[in-house]
Structure 1
Amino acid sequence: MSTSPQHHHDAEEYRLTDPHVTELLDRATADLQPQFQGIFGPETIRAVLDETYTQLNATARVHTHLATLATRFARERLTSIAKNQGALVSSTPEVLFVCVHNAGRSQMAAALLHHRAQGRVTVRSAGSAPAETINPAVVLAMAELDLDLSQEFPKPLTTEAVEAADVVITMGCGDACPVFPGKRYLDWELDDPAGKSVEEVRAVRDEIDRRVTGLLAELAPEAAR
Structure 2
Amino acid sequence: MPRSEQTRVAFVCVQNAGRSQMATAFARRERDERGVGDEIDVVTGGTDPADHVHDEVVEVMSEVGFELAGNSPRAIGEDEIMDVDIVVTMGCSAEGICPTTWRGDARDWDLDDPDGRPLDEVRAIRDDIERRVVALFDELVGED
- Structures share a fold, TM > 0.5? yes
1:100 shift after superposition: 0.9
Q: Is the 8 A contact 1:117 1:220 kept in 2?
A: no
Q: Distance in 2 between matches of 1:90 and 1:215?
A: 20
State the one-letter code of the partner of 1:101. Q
Counterpart for residue 20 of structure 2: 106
- Whose relative contact order is higher, 1 or 2, with alpha carbons under 8 Å and at least 6 apart? 2
1:121 shift after superposition: 2.0
Counterpart for residue 140 of structure 1: 59
Match of 1:149 among 65, 68, 78: 68
Q: Is 1:164 equivalent to 2:117 in the alignment?
A: no
Give the match's secondary structure for 2:10.
Answer: strand
State the one-letter code of the partner of 1:108. M
Q: Is the 8 A contact 2:92 2:110 kept in 1?
A: no
Structure 1, unaligned stretches of length 5 or more?
1-87
Within-5 A mapping of 1:1-225 = 89-118=3-32, 119=37, 120-174=39-93, 175-179=95-99, 180-221=101-142, 224-225=143-144
**Runs of 4+ with deviation above 6 angstroms:** none
Give the match's secondary structure for 1:102.
Answer: coil
Aligned residues: 136
Percent identical across equivalent pairs?
A: 38
> TM-score scaled to structure 2, two decimals?
0.87
Q: Is the 8 A contact 1:104 1:134 kept in 2?
A: yes
Q: Which has the larger radius of gyration?
A: 1
1:213 shift after superposition: 0.8
Judging by fraction of residues, say which structure has more strand.
2
Q: Distance in 2 between matches of 1:205 and 1:155?
A: 20
Deviation per residue, 1:34-87 (Å, 9 max, x gap): xxxxxxxxxxxxxxxxxxxxxxxxxxxxxxxxxxxxxxxxxxxxxxxxxxxxxx
Alignment RMSD: 1.5
Judging by fraction of residues, say which structure has more helix.
1
Q: Is the 8 A contact 1:169 1:188 kept in 2?
A: yes
Q: Is the 8 A contact 1:96 1:161 kept in 2?
A: no
Q: Distance in 2 between matches of 1:112 and 1:184?
A: 20
> TM-score scaled to structure 1, two decimals?
0.57
Structure 2, unaligned stretches of length 5 or more?
none
